[in-house]
Amino acid sequence: MTIRLDARLVPIYQDVLHRNPGEIEFHQAVLEVLESLGPVLTKYPEFADKKIIQRICEPERQIIFRVPWRDDAGEIHINRAFRVEFNSALGPYKGGMRFHPSVYLGIVKFLGFEQIFKNSLTGMPIGGGKGGSDFDPKGKSDDEVERFCQSLMLEMYRHLGEHTDVPAGDIGVGGREIGYMFGQYKRITNRYESGVLTGKGTDWGGSLARKEATGYGLIFFTQEMLKAQNDSLEGKKVVISGSGNVAIYAIEKAQQLGAIVIACSDSGGFIVDENGIDLTTVKRLKEQERRRIKDYTEYHTTARYVSDSSIWSIPCEIALPCATQNELTAEDATMLVNSGCIIVAEGANMPTTAEGIQVFQQAKLRYAPGKAANAGGVATSALEMQQNASRDSWSTEYTQSRLEEIMVGIHKSCFDTAKEYGDEGNYVLGANIAGFIRVARAMSAMGLI
């Protein structure tokens, strides 16, 4: 892979490698942002003088702690949990918690780093943070998940607060887990502090449309990318990886806007249904019964299940990776380009490898990074915080219209910034520069913090 770094940024990147050994996903996320920042240092030399980039690459605070819990048979288990409070120049740390066996410090730091720029792009008053644990919720009973969440919050509560750090969900953390964590926070602190967690149930402080927000927001963003080329979603063939929170609501909105979603997946494999995925079945399997995507074929005989090849081998016009990091490789990117794909927009965080991104950019395919395209989730979380602060509850229609407005704004900001810096259509450049400048200006104004 070719590294395209401005000479002034090379020592900064080398320092990141040296100070954070083995954290390969964090290195990857930092490099992707630094590759865009050369022209910014030329335009704003004060950011170099004030070492803003070096400061942004170092989290403000990193918390690592033990989470002991008992399973249903009475056996004790020990997990490790993290909260990385990366940057609070724009507001309280904001970013989800991930429960997955692959979680370690490097994953949490990559996610927290991305979150700084994503949150900045929303234009809302939220800083960047992220957390998680190597706990695997798969196959655990509700009681086990509850005991784990309670034990985790027994340590994490002291670092949180509606004006300090506000976690939400991510992979493996949905409404159930947020409920257990909120209940435990309330019990420990004796405070009904609604704004301390987002993604809450709509009966007790959650925002309508939060569950749908990341997936819907992704489609609103994709629609703007198409409009910029005088095109629309109507009749487009779409492939979406994953079948979790982001994927399900991306499928829903894409279908509402006339697209035909023909494939989706989980970590076991993918299903292809040329008639269009039946979302009712996917929702029942995934949201209610916690089953595998393979079981879809039991209900739809025209569909096929594939577990020995990549979902990106299925020809489509629009590809939306919505599962996990580095799920779309250079080989996958080449297959997509060769099969006529015109747009790739990321619902997941950093799902495309650095080599994959280069393939897309060389082919001049329009490619939107997650920090822009999936920002609808955190934007709606910020709307949830606004409702909590004013003890108000907005309608679904109003919340969705705010979400759409925010996604249109993010698209415009990325598009216009890329154009201003001489590379129209380069959403990576646009997102990184627009996201960075807002944070850098705030840090610059606040003195040496």
Residues annotated catalytic, as ranges: 130
- The SS3 of residue 350 is coil
Give the C-alpha separation, 130 to 11, whole Å: 26
426: contact with ligand NDP by CB under 6 A:
no
Among 36, 79, 374, 399, binds ligand NDP (CB under 6 A): 374
Tell me the per-residue interface mask from 297 to 326 with ligand NDP, x by CB under 6 A, - otherwise: -------------------------xxx--
Among 91, 112, 127, 242, binds ligand NDP (CB under 6 A): 242
Among 79, 243, 255, 417, binds ligand NDP (CB under 6 A): 243
To which H or E segment does residue 83 belong?
strand 76-87
Residues 180-209 that bind ligand NDP (CB under 6 A): none
User: Minimum CB separation from ligand NDP for residue 244, in Å?
Assistant: 2
The count of chain residues that interact with ligand NDP, using the rule CB under 6 A, is 23
Give the C-alpha separation, 448 to 315, whole Å: 51
User: Minimum CB separation from ligand NDP for residue 167, in Å?
Assistant: 12
261: contact with ligand NDP by CB under 6 A:
no
91: contact with ligand NDP by CB under 6 A:
no
User: Minimum CB separation from ligand NDP for residue 2, in Å?
Assistant: 26
Shorter beta-carbon distance to ligand NDP: residue 347 or 443: 347
Close Cβ partners of 106 (under 8 Å, ≥ 6 residues apart): 20, 22, 23, 24, 25, 26
Q: What is the 3-state secondary structure (H, E, C) of 222-273?
A: HHHHHHCCCCCCCCCEEEECCCCHHHHHHHHHHHHCCCEEEEEEECCEEEEC
Among 40, 348, 414, 443, binds ligand NDP (CB under 6 A): 348
Give the C-alpha separation, 431 to 118, whole Å: 8
User: Minimum CB separation from ligand NDP for residue 45, in Å?
Assistant: 34
Q: Are 102 and 394 in contact (CB under 8 A)?
A: no
Residues 205-224 that bind ligand NDP (CB under 6 A): 214
Among 88, 133, 198, 245, binds ligand NDP (CB under 6 A): 245
Q: For 114, how many CA atoms within 13 A lie in the half-sphere containing its CB? A: 31
- Per DSSP bridges, beta strands 318-320 and 237-240 are parallel
Cα Rg, the chain, nearest whole Å: 21
Longest dimension (CA), the chain: 63
95: contact with ligand NDP by CB under 6 A:
no
User: Minimum CB separation from ligand NDP for residue 153, in Å?
Assistant: 19
Site for ligand NDP, rule CB under 6 A: 169-172, 214, 242-247, 266-268, 322-324, 327, 347-349, 374, 377
